[in-house]
Amino acid sequence: GDSVTQMEGPVTLSEEAFLTINCTYTATGYPSLFWYVQYPGEGLQLLLKATKADDKGSNKGFEATYRKETTSFHLEKGSVQVSDSAVYFCAWGGNDYKLSFGAGTTVTVRA
């Protein structure tokens, strides 16, 4: 069935390190893809999105490219900060009004 698989955590990095969180999806058709971020004790906030193949979403130094050929939407940031410590969720939405989420990846950035 349709699903999202993202890299398991937790991930611990030093400030200014490079961050990659892998996300792959299995879906029929051409879903829209999203990365959401959740800070401790809060709801989810949209970080970036891409609605068609080869689109690149970007925000706050994070980037992800919709790769149809590899069914992937990996999240990257070149230089992380302590304030980037959060849980990151990959998600996809099709035409059936359901937004499907990955399990989440906890990222901790140390000063």
Partner 1 sequence: DGGITQSPKYLFRKEGQNVTLSCEQNLNHDAMYWYRQDPGQGLRLIYYSQIVNDFQKGDIAEGYSVSREKKESFPLTVTSAQKNPTAFYLCASSIGGGPWTEAFFGQGTRLTVV
Binding residues for partner 1 (CB under 8 A): 31-32, 34, 36, 41-46, 49, 51, 89, 92-99, 101-104
Secondary structure of the chain: what % helix, strand, coil (to 5)? 5, 55, 45
Integer CA distances (angstroms), 98 to 82, 93, 108, in order: 33, 6, 29
Residues in the chain: 111
Shorter beta-carbon distance to partner 1: residue 73 or 89: 89
Residue located via tokens 């398991």: 8
Shorter beta-carbon distance to partner 1: residue 17 or 27: 27
Single-letter code of the amino acid located at 55: D
Shorter beta-carbon distance to partner 1: residue 97 or 111: 97
- Residue 58 CB, nearest approach to partner 1 (Å): 15
- Residue 20 CB, nearest approach to partner 1 (Å): 19
- Residue 110 CB, nearest approach to partner 1 (Å): 22
